[in-house]
Amino acid sequence: MKRFLVLFSSLLLGCIFQVSAREGMWLPPLLSGQAAAMRSAGLQIPVSELYNERGTGLNEAVVRFGGGCTGELISGNGLLLTNHHCGYGTVQGLSSAANDYFARGFWAMKPGEEIPCPGLTVAIVRRMENVTDVILNGLPDALPETTRDSIISQRIRNLEASYRNSNLGLEPSVSAYYNGNQYWVSLMEVFRDIRLVGFPPNGIGQFGGDADNWMWPRHTGDFSMFRVYAGADNKPADYNRSNKPFKPRRFLTLNAKGVKEGDFTMVYGFPGATQEYLAATQIAQIADITDPIRIEARSARLAAWTQHMQANRNVFLQYTSKRAGVANGWKKWQGEVQGLKAANVVAKRRETENRFQYWTQSDTSLPYADDVLSRINANINEANRVLPAEIYFQEAVLGVELIARGAVLDRMATALQTTDPAKELQKAVAGWEGFYKNYDSGTDQAVFDKLMPLFFSRVPEAFIPDVFRSQLARYHGNFREWSAELYSQSIAAGRNRFEAFLKEATPASLSQLQADPALQLYRAAMQTRRTAIAPVLAAAQQRLTTLSRLHRKAQIAADSAAIAYPDANSTLRLAYGQVKGIDPDGPAPYSYQTFLSEAIAKDNPQVAEFQVPQKLKTLYASRDFGRWGNKTNVPVAFIADNHTTGGNSGSPVLNTKGELIGTNFDRIWEGTMSDLYFDPSRSRNISLDIRYTLFVIEKFGGAGWLLNEMKIVR
């Protein structure tokens, strides 16, 4: 009877844990396990061409761009393609009112015009190795998490040091997979001399702006181009004018023949983070608490920023990158909540858990499996007591830049009490010029006026610091009077005031600094978080880390399908699917492809996000598309059902032969819950068609010389 019970429970679990046809972010060294499925889906090259350690795999052409994006090498001279929004922060640092690259774009017309990008790095993964046996050797499953973490951290440091000492010239990075049940090391070559080559103006690269972000149909020319430089030995080197373009072992061939619905596609890159295996209570926490609070607070902050950005071009330049970052999550979370509820994900996950519990009745190998879910649920419920207050502190209080700047004032106060205050003060304020370059006190005050009333109305009395209440009471509950006084008094509310204080600061200035109202607000917020909120969340999270690892291990033990692929963790992955349109809510005039004519039709000179550059309109009117369109149009973007997430921005989209057909830049709003639950009927990634990229480079940018170094098939 027990044998029948085990068999029946395994059959039930197999139905639940089965990965859908298009789901998955696969580890490149393990692609042989997907070879048959990929060939069946349409792959025409061996999976060994996608990844190998001989230096001939396509992994050699896929790079980690900066800290959170992907890029691809598209020539033998280190030419690199990524997203416009991936290069945005870098280009902001290179721009000014005189050189407004957001308004006018930038195109190098020869190598000597390429602009160095200080601090930007590009990393190529040369190989990945499974080091689980080294990291987890002899560690019991139920070892206390703090003890386990300490041992693992030391083992990771030792292992990474041994790789660095091996004279490979590669930078090691050990990462956890399957909630800490496996560990792999990525061995990377990290390049430090990166230069800007091409950057379309916002009228192309950000066309549609926040209104179209996460949406389909889409007409955003979301690309930018850089070049990787190396030393004389073709190895990474710091910037030097004498450095030469990097010669990669492999670069991508561009295929400009076009796509059609049903075509096989692959997305290769560095997806940031997913949580596909959460418990139902954890998903409900996101859908009912975390996301709604963030959406509410960011709606208020974005409204204030937008009003001031539209009224002043300098403020626009100061806040455009910050706004893009804040708005990206804001809109994504809206789609995530809608998708989770539309797909009834919490109920589906509870059904999975019921089957899991049925399996535990017959399992004797993992004694902790019986109650692991109930313990997860208990800890989530405990965290939910204080979590709303914490999210409001993060989004409403620290969403005010002046209050967040209190962290610097706090470090300054500490510095003034040291034996070498002048030296320590300079450390405390490092980077202050960069902050004020992109800060406007009037704009920030408008944010305060929106967020502080929200904070007071939403957070329980027990979590509102006394300092907040006392400062507001001085102005008889008038938030605008409070903000007017705050921004007129704080030394952090303006560059000139801050610089003046910094020049004259001595230990005798400590009392003035500690009386600063912004510092008082910051310290009070941090004290409340530290004493009333953090202990509860930290204790729950520590327990949840252990329980989630045990739960994941038990899932894998219950059914082998559960080990299909690990959650994304900013390491190299490959997803595959097909070009596919979508009608998420029934019949709709959606297609898998968009065209330039549709962007021209959306042109609106009164709305910055929809202002088509005049040159692009002229090219369209004369049908001057060159090789990249037909007689009437140029394709702009297409969608497919590849499993992607943040970090896949800039990822190459490859065809059945591993040729570049597009650059991934977004997902559709209806499917953003794919970080938690992949629904093949709703999940689509949006890619820029390589033909539009080439058209813009050659015809709009006038930089056709760049095409000469690419390998293009048509």
pLDDT in tens, 278-329: 999 999 999 999 999 999 999 999 999 999 999 999 999 899 889 988 998 8
Least confident of 153-162, 358-367, 469-478: 358-367
Residue with tokens 């007591």: 385
pLDDT in tens, 420-445: 999 999 999 999 999 999 999 999 99
Residue 18: how many other CB atoms lie within 10 Å: 13
Cα–Cα distance for residue pair 126/235, rounded to 1 Å: 13
pLDDT value of position 618: 98
Mean pLDDT of the chain: 93
pLDDT for residue 2 is more than 70: no
pLDDT for residue 13 is more than 50: no
pLDDT in tens, 25-79: 999 999 999 999 999 999 999 999 999 999 999 999 999 999 999 999 999 999 9
Angle between helices 441-458 and 466-474 (to 10 degrees): 110
Which two structure tokens, joined as six digits, stand for 501? 């204080």
Identify which of 38, 18, 41, 22 has the alpha carbon closest to the alpha carbon of residue 30.
38
Mean pLDDT computed over 453-472: 97
Strands 254-255 and 712-713, sheet pairing = parallel
Number of helices (H) and strands (E), helices first, in the chain?
Answer: 28, 20
Amino acid at 394: Q
pLDDT value of position 145: 87
pLDDT in tens, 229-268: 999 999 999 999 999 999 999 999 999 999 999 999 999 9
Mean pLDDT computed over 667-694: 95
Cα–Cα distance for residue pair 655/59, rounded to 1 Å: 15
pLDDT value of position 558: 87
Do residues 614 and 601 touch, judged by C-beta distance below 8 A?
no
pLDDT in tens, 501-551: 999 999 999 999 999 999 999 999 999 999 999 999 999 999 999 999 999
Amino acid at 635: P
pLDDT in tens, 369-411: 999 999 999 999 999 999 999 999 999 999 999 999 999 999 9
pLDDT for residue 194 is more than 80: yes
Task: Name the β-bridge partners of 116.
Answer: 195
Cα–Cα distance for residue pair 683/261, rounded to 1 Å: 15
Measured in residues, the chain has a length of 714
Q: What's the pTM?
A: 0.85
pLDDT for residue 22 is more than 90: no
pLDDT for residue 114 is more than 90: yes
Handedness of CA 53, 57, 60, 64 (dihedral sign): negative
Residue with tokens 């974005």: 302
Confidence class of residue 561 from pLDDT cuts 50, 70 and 90?
Answer: low
pLDDT value of position 6: 36
Question: What are the angstrom distances between the C-alpha of 339 and each of 342, 380, 487, 588?
Answer: 5, 22, 41, 18
Confidence class of residue 365 from pLDDT cuts 50, 70 and 90?
Answer: confident
Question: What are the angstrom distances between the C-alpha of 81 and each of 61, 451, 548, 566?
Answer: 11, 39, 38, 27
Q: Which residues are catalytic?
A: 85, 222, 649
**What backbone torsions phi and psi does residue 689 show, to the nearest 5 degrees?**
-65, 130
Which two structure tokens, joined as six digits, stand for 316? 């626009």
Question: What are the angstrom distances between the C-alpha of 249 and each of 3, 54, 78?
Answer: 54, 10, 10
pLDDT value of position 168: 86
Identify which of 52, 68, 184 has the alpha carbon closest to the alpha carbon of residue 123.
68
pLDDT value of position 583: 74
Strands 171-177 and 182-191, sheet pairing = antiparallel
* Residue 177 CB-density burial (10 A; 0-12 exposed, 13-18 middle, 19+ buried): buried
Residue 470: how many other CB atoms lie within 10 Å: 11
pLDDT value of position 587: 58
Ranges of H-type helices in 384-478: 387-392, 401-404, 406-415, 421-428, 432-437, 441-458, 466-474
Cα–Cα distance for residue pair 701/616, rounded to 1 Å: 10
pLDDT for residue 8 is more than 60: no
Q: Is 133 helix (H, G, I), strand (E, B) or coil?
A: helix
Confidence class of residue 367 from pLDDT cuts 50, 70 and 90?
Answer: confident
Angle between helices 517-528 and 466-474 (to 10 degrees): 150
Cα–Cα distance for residue pair 48/293, rounded to 1 Å: 46
Least confident of 136-150, 189-203, 550-564: 550-564
Cα–Cα distance for residue pair 220/63, rounded to 1 Å: 22
Task: Name the β-bridge partners of 662.
Answer: 653, 689
Q: Strand runs (DSSP E) across 140-277, as ranges?
A: 171-177, 182-191, 193-199, 224-230, 244-245, 254-255, 264-269
